[in-house]
């Protein structure tokens, strides 16, 4: 279902926005608390537009709503002045001044605590868009499954009798695998993943919508004893259309059925399906809390290419794995796996990281030519996303224009000041002539090296940078492969260099 409301950009239209938000929340079955959250987020979204109205305005704000089995999305389109940086009077190295922001102020926290995802999108001559996504709140597996079926897997469980296993697409021939998948994820990881993996109805709808492909390993009697997933929604490359790479992960094998090649069989079928979908490559983001998943990637020929420091917030419960400080955010290694021979490409990276990028391209088996960039021209093409469920922000720069300094500062400020983001990732298109210019601005804003992410921007490679304003004990990060260690050491050194420059 789609619906559009048009209201004038005036404070007295707020009542109409409230009523519209309540009606939409009712249509998707929200309870009172969730309805209030939708209302509050929409109120802030509309207020952000009013903040930019310069004097009396006759312009209209269009509120577009889309309802699917997965989510309610509400987008605010306006034609007011773009959201310029509110830090433009600060010194270039102003990361320390951001610590003075009162992030507990209610007016700056409504979107953060109400919407599951917020995306700020400049539309050029068409204006500006703020898109808010509210996931449907179906019951998770702990509300419907008997408690005894949710007991964590015992790592020392005796092996089941030798038997034949079936590895197939979940839901094939009408099989109702979804609750079994949710139980297996919960028994392995606790509540350490995003909500999607614990809600059977949501797993089913994501598969039906083609956003996720679940592969399962079952016994001859249909019992799910393993799961592997391909996420083609652009996660890790948020907002990208079309996707040329997908994320592998959410891997589980019941300990009673391990050492029988099920993980490798599920992964190979997942890769075959990804190739059939036309994807050029797949990537995975194994945790750095332990080395086991990284070792599996190394054995299967995947190549380390980046590190996402502190990407996952909240408590992590890894069954059978000792975690001494569950409050610390979880860091992830990024591995690249081509599905077809990589094509040669030409990139225009910043001089500082050329050598490291060349080594990473070589390690990934990707032929590359390095060229000099040029002066940024035209308008910048930048998207800004905040993911509430994992508590991080993402800035994507598809093109660095003449206004890239203002655009990047505004994007960073929007995430920090509006969403309270302390972990932000920044992707710069390496084939963009303005990449080096954007990088220079990003360094001034406190961003440091994160790595190479092939195909992450509609098939184009990106230089990932990161700004991490939370404690990360890098000495406790587990690393499996020698080049993965080299990448992490490089990132640690670059972070220290950028921080020294910020206080110089």
**At what angle are helices 435-444 and 404-413 packed, to 10 degrees?**
40
Residue 485, pLDDT > 80, answer yes
Q: How far is CA 111 from CA 41, 105, 132, in A?
A: 5, 12, 8
Average pLDDT along the chain: 86
Q: Which pLDDT belongs to residue 124?
A: 67
* Cross-strand partners of 336: 283, 303
Residue 109 CB neighbour total at 10 angstroms: 17
Reported as a pLDDT band with limits 50, 70 and 90, residue 477 is: very high
Torsions phi, psi for 109 (to 5 deg): -120, -5
Domains identified in the chain and CATH numbers? 2-81+115-135 (3.30.565.10), 145-279 (3.40.630.30), 345-503 (3.40.630)
Query: Which residue's structure tokens are 């930048």?
Result: 382
Mean pLDDT of 305-322: 66
Give the Cα separation of 305 and 364 in Å (integer).
Answer: 8
Give the Cα separation of 18 and 20 in Å (integer).
Answer: 5
Residue 315, pLDDT > 90, answer no
Query: Which residue's structure tokens are 């994807």?
Result: 279
Q: Which pLDDT belongs to residue 139?
A: 84
Torsions phi, psi for 227 (to 5 deg): -145, 140
Q: What percent of the chain has pLDDT over 70?
A: 87
Closest CA to 45 of 131, 133, 135: 131
Give the Cα separation of 375 and 435 in Å (integer).
Answer: 9
Render 90-105 in DSSP notation, one character per residue: S-SS-HHHHTTS-TT-
pLDDT digits (tens, 9 = 90+) for 450-462: 999 999 988 899 9
pTM (predicted TM-score): 0.84
- Between the ranges 176-190, 345-359, 416-430, where is the mean pLDDT highest? 345-359
* Cross-strand partners of 61: 7
Assigned token pair, 31: 């309870």
> Beta strand pairing status for 60-67 and 2-8?
antiparallel
């Amino acid at each position: 279902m789609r619906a559009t409301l048009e209201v004038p950009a005036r404070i007295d239209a707020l009542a109409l926005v409230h009523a519209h938000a309540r009606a939409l929340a009712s249509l998707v079955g929200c309870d009172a608390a969730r309805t209030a959250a939708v209302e509050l987020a929409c109120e802030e979204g509309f207020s952000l537009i009013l903040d930019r109205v310069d004097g009396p305005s006759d312009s209209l704000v269009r509120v577009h709503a889309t309802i699917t089995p997965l989510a309610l999305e509400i987008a605010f389109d306006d034609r007011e002045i773009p959201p310029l940086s509110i830090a433009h009077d600060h010194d270039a190295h102003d990361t320390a001044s951001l610590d003075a922001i009162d992030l507990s102020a209610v007016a700056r926290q409504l979107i953060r605590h109400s919407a599951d995802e917020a995306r700020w999108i400049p539309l050029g001559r068409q204006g500006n868009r703020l898109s808010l996504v509210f996931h449907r709140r179906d019951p998770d597996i702990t509300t419907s499954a008997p408690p005894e079926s949710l007991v964590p897997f015992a790592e020392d469980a005796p092996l089941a009798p030798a038997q034949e296993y079936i590895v197939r697409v979940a839901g094939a021939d009408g099989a109702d695998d979804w609750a079994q998948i949710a139980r297996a994820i919960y028994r392995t990881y606790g509540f350490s993943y995003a909500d999607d993996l614990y809600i059977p109805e949501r797993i089913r709808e994501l598969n039906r919508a083609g956003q996720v492909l679940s592969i399962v390993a079952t016994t001859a009697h249909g019992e799910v004893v393993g799961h592997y997933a391909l996420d083609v929604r652009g996660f890790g490359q948020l907002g990208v259309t079309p996707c040329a790479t997908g994320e592998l992960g959410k891997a589980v094998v019941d300990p009673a059925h391990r050492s029988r090649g099920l993980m490798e069989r599920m992964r190979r079928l997942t890769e075959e399906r990804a190739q059939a979908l036309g994807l050029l490559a797949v990537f995975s983001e194994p945790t750095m809390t332990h080395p086991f998943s990284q070792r599996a990637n190394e054995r299967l020929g995947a190549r380390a290419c980046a590190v996402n420091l502190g990407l996952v917030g909240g408590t992590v419960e890894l069954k059978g794995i000792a975690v001494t400080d569950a409050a610390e955010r979880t860091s992830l290694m990024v591995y690249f796996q081509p599905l077809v021979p990589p094509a040669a490409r030409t990139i225009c990276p910043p001089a500082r990281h050329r050598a490291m990028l060349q080594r990473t391209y070589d390690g990934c088996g990707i032929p590359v030519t390095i060229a000099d960039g040029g002066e940024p021209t035209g308008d910048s093409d930048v998207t800004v996303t905040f993911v509430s469920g994992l508590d991080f922000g993402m800035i994507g720069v598809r093109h660095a224009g003449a206004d890239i300094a203002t655009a990047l500062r505004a994007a960073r400020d929007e995430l920090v000041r509006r969403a309270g983001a302390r972990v932000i990732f920044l992707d710069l298109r390496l084939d963009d002539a303005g990449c080096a210019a954007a990088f220079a601005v990003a360094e001034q804003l406190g961003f440091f090296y994160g790595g190479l992410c092939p195909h992450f921007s509609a098939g184009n490679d990106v230089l990932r940078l990161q700004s991490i304003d939370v404690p990360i004990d890098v000495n406790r990060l587990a690393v499996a492969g020698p080049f993965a260690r080299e990448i992490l050491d490089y990132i640690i050194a670059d972070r220290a260099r950028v921080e020294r420059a910020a206080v110089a």
